[in-house]
Amino acid sequence: MMEQVLQWLKTPGLNHFLILSAILFSMGIYAVLTRKNAIMVLMGIELVLNAANINFIAFSRYSTGTLDGQIVAIFVIILAAAEVAIALAIVLNIYQTFNTVNVDEINQLRD
């Protein structure tokens, strides 16, 4: 059993990348769930998106042998850039209005 695990650890393959991305994804979700600061929530979302991208590219490398997964990853990066620009504009506006960016203190849609 122990030797099997060691043998598995010695030869990185598809599963290793998938499990790495699962851990990264879980940490991103943890940041989204627990952080009060809206910008920390955004950082968690970035970690989640990176984990998804690792999966896409790992499958593109090991399972399909084509570049389709990499193309999807490019679109994910494009959407992440658009998302963070809009989200930061909203966060800055919230900061001007409420003078805080803690998501647990912002509970009104108007000032």
Partner 1 sequence: MFTVIFYVFAVITLGASAIVVFSRNIVHSAFALLFAFFGVAGLYVLLMADFLAITQLMIYVGGILVLLIFGVMLTQRQIDVDIRTGTFQVFPALVIVSALAGTLVGMFWVTNWKIAQTAPPETTASKIGELLLTNYVLPFEIASVILLVALIGAAMIARREKKA
Q: Which residues inside 82-111 make contact with partner 1, applying CB under 8 A? A: 82-86, 88-93, 95-96, 101-102, 104
21 burial type by CB count under 10 A (0-12 exposed, 13-18 middle, 19+ buried)? buried
* Residues in 36-65 that interact with partner 1 by CB under 8 A: 36-37, 39-40, 42-44, 46-47, 50, 53-54, 57-65
* Contact (Cβ atoms closer than 8 angstroms) between residue 77 and residue 90: no
Least spacing, CB of residue 38 vs partner 1, in Å:
8
Which whole-number Å values give the CA distances from 70 to 77, 79, 80, in the listed order? 11, 14, 15
Q: Judged by CB under 8 A, which of 1, 3, 7, 10 binds partner 1?
A: 10
Assigned token pair, 24: 């990264």
The one-letter code for the residue type at 39 is I
Least spacing, CB of residue 68 vs partner 1, in Å:
8
Q: Judged by CB under 8 A, which of 1, 3, 4, 11 binds partner 1?
A: 11
